[in-house]
Amino acid sequence: MRRILAHIEKIERVSKKIMFQIKLPTNVTEVKGIMVEANLKVNFGGIPLNKHVGQLTLRIPEKRDVFYSKEVFLSAINQNRFQNIEVQGLSADKTWMTSGTKREFFKIDVPVSRTIIEGFYEDQRLESKQHYQLNIYLQLA
């Protein structure tokens, strides 16, 4: 059975650097997939489509090994000038959908023996008055 764990970080300052930990359930044996997105609540035209906003790195502390690193872009679904009306979540056929666009997990096989994953996120915007939310979804086995 596969489960999905969501971790959310709110980014409210330009050039913010944060370290965080993601606590996994005790019975998890490996991470099978990762999906990362940055979402605005409302965009009034302040940030252009698919704007690069930061860099994310995830690692397993006991191995000191980075297993995932990615540049983060604002999700295109929130780039219209309206509120995000459709709620993210599971559709009727148990797949993740957001505003009608199917989301895909980056497939990865990372065995875990401890219940902690460390993360580091660096916001790389030069200036902006808009806050966004970094969503990290882990597919667990």
* Tally of domains in the chain: 1
Domain span holding position 59: 3-81+96-140
Q: What is the pLDDT of residue 83?
A: 40
**Whole-prediction pTM value?**
0.77
Query: Residue 126: which of 76, 45, 52, 56 has the closest Cα?
Result: 52
In a domain? residue 87: no
In the DSSP assignment, the letter for residue 72 is E
- Residue 36 tokens read as 């990362």
Query: In this structure, are residues 39 and 74 in contact, taking their beta carbons and an 8 Å threshold?
Result: yes
User: Residue 88: inside a domain, yes or no?
Assistant: no
Task: Please report whether residue 110 resides in a domain.
Answer: yes
What CATH number has the domain bearing residue 104?
2.60.120
pLDDT at 12 over 80: yes
Residue 71 has pLDDT above 50, yes or no: yes
pLDDT tens, residue by residue, 121-132: 999 988 777 788
In a domain, residue 86? The reply is no
Percentage helix, strand, coil, to 5, in the chain?
Answer: 0, 55, 45
136 inside domain = yes
CB 139 within 8 A of CB 32: yes
Task: Report how far residue 55's alpha carbon sits from residue 72's, in angstroms, rounded to the nearest whole number.
Answer: 6
